[in-house]
Structure 1
Amino acid sequence: MSKILTQDEIDALLRNVSATETVQVEEEAPTRPIHLYDFKHPDRISKDQLRALRTIHDAFARSFGTYLSGSLRTLVDINLLSIDQAAYSEYMLSLSVPSCIYIVSSAKLKGSVILEISTEFGLMVVDRLLGGTEARINTVRELTVIEQSIMSRVVDSALSTLSEAWRNVYDLGVYVESFESNPQFVQIAPASETAAVISFDIIIRDTSYPMNICFPYFVLDPLIQNLSNSWANVGTKRLKKREFEELYNRVRLTELPFTAQLGSTKLNMKDYLTLKVGDVIRLDQRTDDPLKVWVDGKVKFWGTPGISKKKRAIRIARRINNLEEIVHE
């Protein structure tokens, strides 16, 4: 029969084990940085391409801001906020109702692009062009057909500036295909399609207005194939003094058609067919009214007729204002 240990013997054995036992501590593995990755919406645009896109649209923001400052006769700053990649459906859900959504197309692109402008900004621009102040619009509503027509001049200039910013990469040649105020009726890409959303902030005095450009990936893909590190400096290149002088001289020597319109009228077909030598056609303009002066097909000045050195001449009275330019466009 085995011997039964007393309590004192058990305590002695435990003390010996504690004294001789060595505890091995495993070294912790070095921590590695963890990056979040969305397998549902993977990034399809590289960092270098995003950098080039930012440079291109920075140049667009500066040029378009300069145009708006001249048209609205006030200081306008446009800042590029971000370039995000998101599902097309997520972007459309973020838009408010009503919105100013311009569907932009090009004969050289596979699909369409969205130019979305704040409705408040659109109403403010219309009010400013018609002689009002840049006071903030308190009531947000859809743009009327007449307001859309006035706003189209600004949007066309924005698209022209955007095409110019992309000129060294791709000849966009974009134009407005249609206008929508409700995002639910805009479907230019599948809901799950990845889209690049380029966000801007238009600042006029103390008020800011958002503006976004949405490129579906299948539209942007042919464009970004031309983007590389070499395009990182697009829009930041400064002209040398000699190059600037050459461009300046070329512009000064450019010849433009310059005409003055004495007046106009409308004739029905019966009167037209009975016209003969000596008939007097009454115009819709008085003899003391100023004449429209056309430069390259656009009304730019008001003038008065006269004679200079035995030749018919016209004296420039004043430059037309923005409202008159819209009316006579």
Structure 2
Amino acid sequence: MADILDQDEIDALLSAISTGGIETTDEKPQVAAEVMETKEKVVQKYDFRRPDIVSKDQMRTLQMLHKTFCRHLTTSLSAYLRTIVEVNLVAVDQLTYGEFNMSLSNPTCINVFSMKPMEGRGVLEVNPVLVHSIIDRLLGGTGEPPSNLKPLTDIEQSIISKIVDIFLAGLAEAWKSIIEFHFRVEEREVNPQFVQIVAPGETVILISCEMRVGNISGIVSLCFPFVYLEPIMSSLNAQHWISSTQKKPTDDMRTSIKFQMSKSYMQVNTILGKSVLSIRQLLSLRKGDVVVLSQKVRDPLLTLVKGRNRFLTVPGILGKQKAVKIVSVIQDKIRKG
């Protein structure tokens, strides 16, 4: 337990402090200064040569669009190649065309495509390892790429063109909620230095997807120059994309639904009348007894469809079977449920 000072000891301590016999230090400001020194200012780098001209909301919409693109590719390519194909979105970036062009390997598989009704062209680049693996599979091989990659021959370009068409078809389907693109391959190239669709300093949107076929994987890159997408950038927002993806019923859909429903069966019951009996009366009923119903002879009967009041009918006979004839339809009661 700590010692407790008496009054004389307290007076002596105060006297020593006032005469300078005991040195004092102001630790609080020193501690505060140390805390301030340890705090580093958070500085975010900004490159004025590469301004971010695509907003975060537009980037998120592009991500959602191309996730849909990857799902389409996964389904289409798995069916075409008859093997398991996985395509996943890796990143959506904005950079200069020069940086994109310098990042490509040589040789590679480059497809320059037009995107009507918009002006300009885009680039689809498929990793050469992936391309040679797909060609080997299509020719009956195991899908192992060669150790020494060479530029594609004309025959190999022709074989891989069908895969490129599947890519562009999936891309058009993904963009359908924003604009009806009509993509078409305009030229093919193996050396990226020979492909100049815009000036090197122009901003482009780069879509990077990882594609795996069997044990072989590679990157598929899509490059869209911003200057050609600028007229539709206002439509690239989450609210517009979600509202446009909600399918509206068409005449064909309505016809199909009606056709399917027309083949369905529903139970129909007609109530002849009702009566209230006591337990004693109910137990005393015998064969030949008559139960008086609340329904009058000339009043129409109530006919139900799946337990809901639907028609007013009158009883009769049709051939050798009992039947009811509809005299009116109860519409209001159906709407009320």
Structure 2 residue 140 is matched with structure 1 residue 131: yes
Q: Which residue of 1 aligns with 2:58?
A: 49
Aligned length: 237
Deviation digits for residues 31-60 of structure 1, max 9, x if unmatched? 764322222211111111111101110111
Deviation digits for residues 255-281 of structure 1, max 9, x if unmatched? xxxxxxxxxxxxxxxxxxxxxxxxxxx
Counterpart pick for 1:214 among 220, 223, 231: 223
The 5 Å alignment of 1:102-251 reads 102-233=111-242, 246=256
TM-score by length of 2: 0.62
**1:244 CA displacement:** 11
Q: Which residue of 1 aligns with 2:110?
A: 101
Q: Letter of the 2:80 partner, please give it.
A: S
CA distance in 2, matches of 1:235, 1:139: 47
Deviation digits for residues 69-119 of structure 1, max 9, x if unmatched? 111110000010001111111111111110101011133222110000011
Contact 1:105 1:177 in 2 (8 A): yes
Cα 1:244–1:74 change in 2 (3 A) is farther
Contact 1:95 1:183 in 2 (8 A): yes
State the SS of the aligned residue for 2:177. Answer: coil
Unaligned runs of 5+ in 1: 1-14, 251-329
CA distance in 1, matches of 2:133, 2:221: 18
Contact 2:133 2:145 in 1 (8 A): yes
Cα 1:23–1:246 change in 2 (3 A) is same
Cα 1:244–1:57 change in 2 (3 A) is farther
Deviation digits for residues 98-154 of structure 1, max 9, x if unmatched? 010101113322211000001122222222222222223322111111111111111
Contact 2:209 2:221 in 1 (8 A): yes
Contact 1:56 1:235 in 2 (8 A): no
Cα 1:139–1:244 change in 2 (3 A) is farther
TM-score by length of 1: 0.63
Q: Which residue of 1 aligns with 2:80?
A: 71
Larger helix fraction of residues: 2
Contact 2:132 2:145 in 1 (8 A): no
CA distance in 1, matches of 2:129, 2:178: 33
Q: Letter of the 2:210 partner, please give it.
A: D
Computing the radius of gyration from Cα coordinates, the structure with the larger value is 2
Structure 2 residue 47 is matched with structure 1 residue 38: yes
Deviation digits for residues 185-208 of structure 1, max 9, x if unmatched? 011111111111110100122321
Q: Which residue of 2 aligns with 1:6?
A: none
